[in-house]
Structure 1
Amino acid sequence: MQAEQLANEQKFNKAIEDGDRFFNARDYRQAQTLYNEALLIRQNAAHPAGRIAEIAKILGEQEATDKQYADAIQLGDNLLSQNQLDEAVMAYQQAARLKPSESYPGKQIELIELKKSEAKTLSENYASTISAADAAFETKNYSVALASYQKSLDYKPGSEYPSSKIREINGILEEQKMLADREYYEAIRQADQLFSEEDYTSAVKFYENASALKPGEKHPQDRILAIRTIMQERTLNQLATYNKHIINADRLYQDKIFDQAIDAYLAA
């Protein structure tokens, strides 16, 4: 009987020693198990009973903290998914205060600060691009304005203001194209008429106007080249006729046939 008591005493002391060690290491579940083993040996022992009550209180507080932490993290994650960044930061800060050793809230706050910095940069780039686009639009530099409005959508996709301006500019450019087409074909009509009448000096002006309206069109350029060739040939023919008259006049003058020489010079 005495040996059994000694064995129980050793088991009790061992359970208390191990329980205290786990308790001090904050492994409360394991400590609780060992203290319960000690109470099976000594039902009225104050130390393990007190520690079990203390552990129950600690675990209850931990469970409450765990729930508050989980709720704060869930709230922060939900707010972040809705892009409510400032509110999400406050939720993560609350979680960090509840469990300072947890790294997740701090990492999420860093992520949000990065998103806010990127959003600020995008907003600044958007504003400056819109400003440049508006300035170009006011001076009717529509191609530059269009490119700038399109660029602004890289910073704020789907933004209504630049989208409406792009539609407006496309309408203006389409109207300008229709007007240019009408002016072009009218210039070509008049130029072709003058060309057929061999009024090349007037015709070339209309072809040049048409070419300025549509630089890529081949017809006015071909006609301008043809007119220059015709005019050059005319000049060469006139020069040849002039030289012929001068040579004839000089010969008549040398032969002292002055009346015919005068007529030849006048003909030149």
Structure 2
Amino acid sequence: MKTHTPSLPAVSFGRRPHLLAPLLLCCLLLAVPARAADPAPQIKPCVACHSVERICRNVDKGDAFWTKTVKRMIANGAHVGPDQVPGLVALLANPDHDKVREILNCPSPDSLKTSAAAVPTAVILAHPILMILTLLLALWVTWQGVNRARFSHFKQKTAFNWKGHTRYGLVVMGLWLAGAVGGSIVSDMLHGIPDAYELHEGMAAVMLWLIAFGGLSGLYMDRKKAKRTLLPILHGAANLLLLLLALGQLVTGLVILGRLLAA
């Protein structure tokens, strides 16, 4: 007699829309902690990406803030239909802030401040320190790439450390990927500061695509050495843009760090 074993229901893990880049990043996303259950059906799409505490910290921001935020979340992949937008914005932007906190089952404002303050300063500083060191290494890798371009395209005699450029270039890419995941985790620990993090996270999303292209194209050229013209140019252009975004991350990161330490 055959027995029928019921299949287990599929488990759904929270996603981070701005980290849904190339498939090679999926393994890193497993490091992101699972989200708590949502306290209100209207915000299911919100808590699929971040904690409810992050929403609770901003219930007093008003209609303009939440309209912009909901649209940005939809652009990042939140499952909110056009017919759901007015109701969601009306809920989050309700001027009766106490009612909103009750609906969302928010912790008290004082406990939110305490939980953010409980994050050790060493944890907050670890991310920017690592990213600054990575940026310094990235500058050396970029300089080696410039030397390569000078030799290949401008026929100038320069010293080019091929092995170092490839090896440390991959180290930089890996550290930037780790920084994206680590920074996101720290952001959750602090329950997020949307007005400070928006630009920082937006640049990180673009950087993930450039990291994937720069790393894969660099590995391909290292493994399949040949005389090329277009691919090295695209590789160099993408990595220069990546370096500029990393410099922008440094500026916005220092602004965020200043706000956290001053809080």
Q: TM-score, normalised by structure 2?
A: 0.27
Structure with greater helix share of residues: 1
- Tell me: higher relative CO, structure 1 or 2? Use CA pairs within 8 A at least 6 residues apart: 2
Name the larger-Rg structure: 1
